[in-house]
A and B are shown apart, each in its own frame.
Chain A
Amino acid sequence: MAGLPPAEPVIRLEAVHKWFGRNHVLRGIDLSVFQGQVVCVIGPSGSGKSTLLRCINLLEEPASGHVWFEGRDITDVRTDLNKVRTKIGIVFQQFNLFPHKSALDNVTLGLEKVLRMRKDDARELARRELAHVGLTEKEDAYPARISGGQQQRVAIARALAMSPTVMLFDEVTSALDPELVKEVLDVMKRLASEGMTMIVVTHEMGFAREVGDRMIFMDEGLIVEEGRPVDLLSNPVHPRTRSFMSKIL
């Protein structure tokens, strides 16, 4: 991002805690993500990975702690979250496309209603984004009429169209049939190679190893270990990381 000194993280979390009822899901998370980094978050289910991701655009409100985005404390109640969220794209496990809108209209909705773009401009941009994820011929299709992989690519296009600074991916291939995973990962790989800052919660270790700059292992609401994906995957230091890796690899 122009104007940001290189040392300033795009996203910074400080002592973030989150409870669901009596369940202490995040137990003090500190994390900095810098411009252009691809950070992969792994860990057993229930370890707080998704919650962490959702705390970054404040879909979940941290119980305590701070989240900074581009140098601004967005946990401050005076922050206009709607504005911040246009700069943080998120893609969900269950796609969450709007089923009553065509692929194209899924993408234009935010452009027209949030960014106040003119209809023609919005459609033009949306077509470009759909072409970018290889779905030009599906722009009029409704979500129920296209495959899961295609739906997820529309969801990525919908997020990208807002021209976010950061993209969050929440287990985006977990709900897909195995033969559809690759088409989604390919889109993400290209995005990473284009220099997008990405935080990716995933179980795709191959993707993490190939694309990730950093890997974070979470367990029981804490960041247990972090480092280069190669190191974490082949030489985990912490016993919990080691036991997790031995189970999945």
Chain B
Amino acid sequence: MTVLDTADRPGRLQRWREEGTRLSKVIVSLGGAALGLTLFGPVGLVLARGATPTESLVATLRSGELKAILAVGLVAGALAVLGGWGTYRRMPTKASREQAVAGAVLGLQAAILSFVLLRFTGGSIEKFATNFLDFRALRPHVGEFVHGARNTLILALAGESIGVGLGLALAMLASSKRAVVRAPARVYINFFRGTPLIWQISFIYFGLIVGFKVNISAYEAAIVAFGLNTGAYAAEVFRAGIQSIDRGQLEAARSLGMSYMQAMRYAVIPQAIRRVIPPLMNEFVILIKDTSLIIVLGLVQREYELYTVGRSLFADTFNATFFVATALGYLVVCLPLIRLVTAVERRLRSGLVGVVGHLEA
């Protein structure tokens, strides 16, 4: 296998510097500057003048300076679009063509963004800011949101743990060669995939309390519901993972005298697990947001998760800034996980998992 010698290959930035023409550099700089100005100009201005109190924020949003910044962004962006669009086909080198295209695209983003912001600051800014951007009101409640985020994570983690275990068991049943074993697993999986989670939460809660006379809190019942629901989805993920493992692996293990269960446990499932980690983490991200459905059960205050915290504060104050904070809370929890999924996927793809065949060491 040839090892590519990367030492002599210039990086993209270097090639852009060396192979770009003067015009293409101007276009890409113009587009980049327009977008930078549109993105960071308003933020800088708001930060410089203070986001609280709301009156100051409103004044900034209405100010001529902000309009001027956005107008410059709009014009510069439009120029970059025109310049890039008009010239990219005639650029002499690949790097200069890419620069022209990049300039046009950045300029377009700047133009759209500044146009939207200009229109927006022309609306009822005052009303919007007092309803959605009243960050002063937020400050005393930050602790509640942190507590809520903790509860959200507890609910999701507990539900996911139940779900993963249950899902693996269901997947084994669902891939049985015997129809009598397969059928109940399929009924379960399809039922939980086919009904809304919000319905499952309420019915499991009331079903457990009334039907089974189990003394259970809403919080615990919701965890059970999340677990049962996630189990159905995880089962499908596991089933696909198990099926993706070459049949030869099962045969090799069986030919050594292993029982079916041993072959699954020692040969197939360890490989399948690696493949299902990214989709399972994806399910987890979905579950984090779905835990908000617990709101249908009514919680005591220390059990509030992110959404309930925002919702109850809104009910007390009619200030929708708390909903903005809720969304930010979910983003803070989910974004690192989403990044992690991407990183794990990349590692699994580039790694040796599931690679049979020969590579020279």
Contact = CB atoms under 8 A, between A and B. Distances in A.
Interface in A107-145: 109-110, 113-115, 141-145
29 contacts: A82-B254, A82-B257, A82-B259, A83-B257, A85-B254, A85-B255, A85-B257, A86-B257, A88-B255, A89-B255, A92-B252, A94-B246, A94-B248, A96-B252, A97-B252, A98-B252, A98-B253, A99-B355, A110-B257, A113-B262, A144-B359, A147-B358, A147-B360, A148-B357, A155-B252, A158-B256, A159-B255, A159-B256, A162-B257
B266 interface: yes
A169 interface: no
Contacts of A142: 352
B256 A99 contact: no
B255 to A, nearest CB: 5
A67 B191 CA distance: 45
Nearest to B361: A145
A63 interface: no
B225 to A, nearest CB: 35
Given A92-B248, A98-B249, A114-B262, A109 B359 contact: no
Given A142-B352, A143-B356, 15 more contacts: A59-B251, A82-B257, A92-B248, A94-B246, A96-B252, A98-B249, A99-B355, A100-B353, A109-B267, A113-B262, A114-B256, A114-B258, A144-B357, A146-B361, A148-B357
Nearest to A176: B358
B86 interface: no
A92 B249 CA distance: 11
Tier of interface size on chain B: 20 to 34
B356 A113 contact: no
Given A99-B271, A145-B361, A146-B361, A57 B356 contact: no
Interface in A46-93: 57, 59, 82-86, 88-90, 92
Given A94-B356, A113-B266, A59 B257 contact: no
Contacts of B266: 98, 109, 113
B258 A98 contact: no
Interface of A: 57, 59, 82-86, 88-90, 92, 94-100, 109-110, 113-115, 141-148, 151, 155, 158-159, 162
A234 B117 CA distance: 88
A42 B186 CA distance: 44
Contacts of A113: 258, 262, 266
Nearest 7 pairs between A and B by C-beta?
A: A86-B257, A110-B256, A96-B252, A96-B248, A148-B358, A114-B257, A144-B352
A39 B204 CA distance: 64
A97 B355 CA distance: 11
A114 to B, nearest CB: 4
Q: Give the residue among A143, A155, A158 with the most B Cβ atoms within 10 A.
A: A143
Contacts of A115: 257
Nearest to A60: B251
Nearest to B354: A99
Interface in B243-277: 246, 248-249, 251-259, 262, 266-267, 270-271, 274
